[in-house]
Amino acid sequence: MNSILQTERLTLRPWETKDLLECIEMNLDKEVMKYFPAILTKKQTIEFYDRVQKHFLENGFGLYVVENTIAQEFLGYTGFMIANFEASFTPCVEIGWRFKKQYWGKGYATEAAKACLQYGFDKLGFDKIYSFTATPNIKSENVMKRIGMIKTGTFSHPKIYKEHVLNLHVIYETEKII
């Protein structure tokens, strides 16, 4: 298997075609997509998968599949994307995560994200990594806190209309310690 990172329980690796079905299922789950404007249809997840592949080709990094090493099940993804929507801090490198509901509450997102941050600084050469989420998404904000990121403010997401409950986002940052 072509693994990028190994942690105590997890393997982070590039996407394989078989992951698409799992990802489609994850993105159709209303609870998983609660803090996004909508669920993703099958077609939208296929488009997302193509964007992830393109991002890897263009940048050499991206969102990695997270698998539990022993059972080799698709749990979700964690990794990096270039955020280039209009904001004072963009373009920037963003760390993000999404896991299937049955794998929440086990520390997997934190374990995967911690390893990713270290990989980002040590191997990919990033100086600063950002993360953001809609203010009601406390679970995601808690991952940011647990991996040592610091809240630096809030911003109004330019792609979500102003009155929408998901418009206001928290912003977290972390820098490479030399």
Ligand X SMILES: CC(C)(COP(=O)(O)OP(=O)(O)OC[C@H]1O[C@@H](n2cnc3c(N)ncnc32)[C@H](O)[C@@H]1OP(=O)(O)O)[C@@H](O)C(=O)NCCC(=O)NCCS
Residues engaged in binding ligand X (CB under 6 A): 32, 35, 76, 96-99, 104-110, 133, 137, 139-140, 142-143
From the CB of 50, what's the least distance to ligand X, in Å? 20
Work out how close the CB of 178 gets to ligand X at its nearest, in angstroms, rounded to a whole number.
27
Rounded to the nearest whole angstrom, what is the least distance from the CB of residue 48 to ligand X in the complex? 13
> Of the two residues 109 and 171, which places its CB atom closer to ligand X in the complex?
109
Instruction: Quote the Cα angle for 147-69-123, to 5°.
Output: 50
Nearest-angstrom CA–CA distance, 171 and 133: 7
- CB of residue 27 to ligand X, shortest distance in Å: 10
Closest residue to bound ligand X by CB: 107
Distance of closest approach, residue 14 Cβ to ligand X, in angstroms: 20
Sheet holding 92-99, edge to edge: 5-6, 10-13, 63-68, 73-83, 92-99, 128-134, 168-175, 150-156
> Closer to ligand X at the Cβ: 125 or 151?
151
Distances from the Cα of 149 to the Cαs of 53, 159, 165, 171, in angstroms?
27, 24, 24, 10
Three-state DSSP at 84 gives coil
Nearer to ligand X, 75 or 119 (CB): 75
Terminal CA-to-CA distance of the chain, rounded, Å? 32
Nearer to ligand X, 57 or 159 (CB): 159
Query: Which CB, 61 or 95, lies closer to ligand X?
Result: 95
Three-state secondary structure call for residue 55: helix
Q: What is the dihedral of CA 73, 44, 33, 139, to 10 degrees?
A: 60
